[in-house]
Amino acid sequence: MFEAISFLSKIIIPALLAFIPLYAASRKIPVYESFVEGAKEGFPTAVQLIPHLVAMMVAVSIFRETGALQFYLALFKPLLAWVHFPEEVLPLGLLRPISGTGALAFAESIFRSDGPDSYLGRLASTMQGSTDTTLYVLTVYFGAVGIRRSLYAVKVGLMADLTGVIASWFIVSQIFGS
Amino acid sequence: MVNYIWLFMIVSGVVAGAVQGELDLVTQAALKGAKEGVAVCIGLISILVFWLGMMRIAQDAGLLEKLAGLLGPLARLLFPGVPRDHPAMGYILSNMSANLFGLGNAATPMGLKAMEELQKLNPNKKTATPAMCTLLALNTSGLTLIPTTIIGIRMEYGSANPTEIIGTTLFATCCSTVAAVLLDRWFRQRSLDAG
């Protein structure tokens, strides 16, 4: 199963790169000009994202590097002890929605201290893969088209992240045991 | 809500710095964050230029409409507000397929194109539409078949079985995606009822 999917993931891009232009050419589309025309939009889109991403990453960086994150983590500890959630991976749960690189770095630190095949290592791996970086996705997707009012989108994203954390904890404990 | 989260992160960071008597930490962190933000955008340039070029060929050849027609029923269920033949549908579906195969690089440009198309349908350009919220929900919950990044890192750290977490991750990401879709539905209904 894994081999099949990973094989597919590997060949899908080269296959698309051959198929799309060939198919277009067969329908008399000037493929080169078409590509350039579409590619022109890439640079302005990326540049337009700069203010949004800088704003978000400055806030995340201040929150993390000053130790404010640690302070809030400490507040959650008693609650976690009560439900027996392993407190070592809590920072990952909180980092995951706000900072992709931060979460990855934290997962690596768990691999270093406990090993990737430990309970904590497996839990961290599963949590890392279970959701995407909500704030980043929100910033980029809404920033690119200039949406200011995001309605309920943030709430939905964060609640889904929480579901991912709980589901990871449940399934890893069930499959691998704690 | 983003405004509150943003303010909360900055204010609590500055307070934490002040309490420890290390306010220069705040300045350093701010500049570091700004640098990271720009670096991410620079990294996005090549990906966006390349994929938006490819996607334009697909669009000109009518491939996106084909894709939309193929997977239409599922998409119409998730995005009832989008007309069935609208180009947004094709981009939404390419975005979802790219995510599923773990092609995060390709997923972002397609998602941004989808947002752009959805924005054309938006009567109020500063406020998100329900369809935009659904697209965002699907992307934040990160439904993917193979978590390639974490498998790579597990390998680096000498895991005996780096891929053993595929099953558990798939379970967890399915849970978060189902939660995202249901919550999105629920909040959408509530906002429609209220307004």
ipTM for the complex shown = 0.86
B136 contacts in chain A (CB < 8 Å) = 137-138, 141-142, 150, 153, 156-157
Q: Does the residue B147 lie in any domain?
A: yes
The model's confidence at residue A81, banded by pLDDT at 50, 70 and 90, is confident
CB-CB under 8 Å, B29 with A62: yes
Residues B32 and B119 in one domain: yes
Residue B176 lies in a domain: yes
Whether residue B100 sits in one domain with residue B161 = no
* Any domain includes B132: no
Q: What is the pLDDT of residues A28-66, one digit of tens each?
A: 999 999 999 999 988 998 898 899 889 988 999 999 899
From B90, B124, B158, the end of a domain falls on B124
Verdict on whether the full-model pTM lies above 0.90 = no
Contacts of A148 in chain B (CB under 8 A): 126-127
Domain of B180, in residue numbers? 141-195
- Size of the A and B interface in Cβ pairs below 8 Å: 361
User: What are the chain B neighbours of A99 within 8 Å (beta carbons)?
Assistant: none
Range scoring the smallest mean pLDDT among A19-23, A54-58, A165-169, B104-108:
B104-108
- Which positions ≥6 away from B39 have C-beta within 8 Å? none
Q: Which positions in chain B touch A138 (Cβ < 8 Å)?
A: 2, 136, 140
Residues of A (73-92) whose Cβ lies below 8 Å from B: none
Region B26-31 average pLDDT:
94
Same domain for B119 and B173: no
> Which of B135, B141, B155, B190 should one mutate to test binding to chain A, selecting the residue with the greatest count of A CBs within 10 A?
B141
Same domain, B79 and B112: yes
How distant, in Å, are the alpha carbons of A68, A90, B71, B124, B156 from that of B96?
35, 29, 11, 25, 29
In a domain, B186, yes or no: yes
Count of domains forming chain B? 2
Q: B195 exposed, middle or buried (CB, 10 Å; 0-12, 13-18, 19+)? A: exposed
Q: Give yes or no: residues B120 and B151 share one domain.
A: no
Interchain contact, A63 vs B9, CB within 8 Å: yes
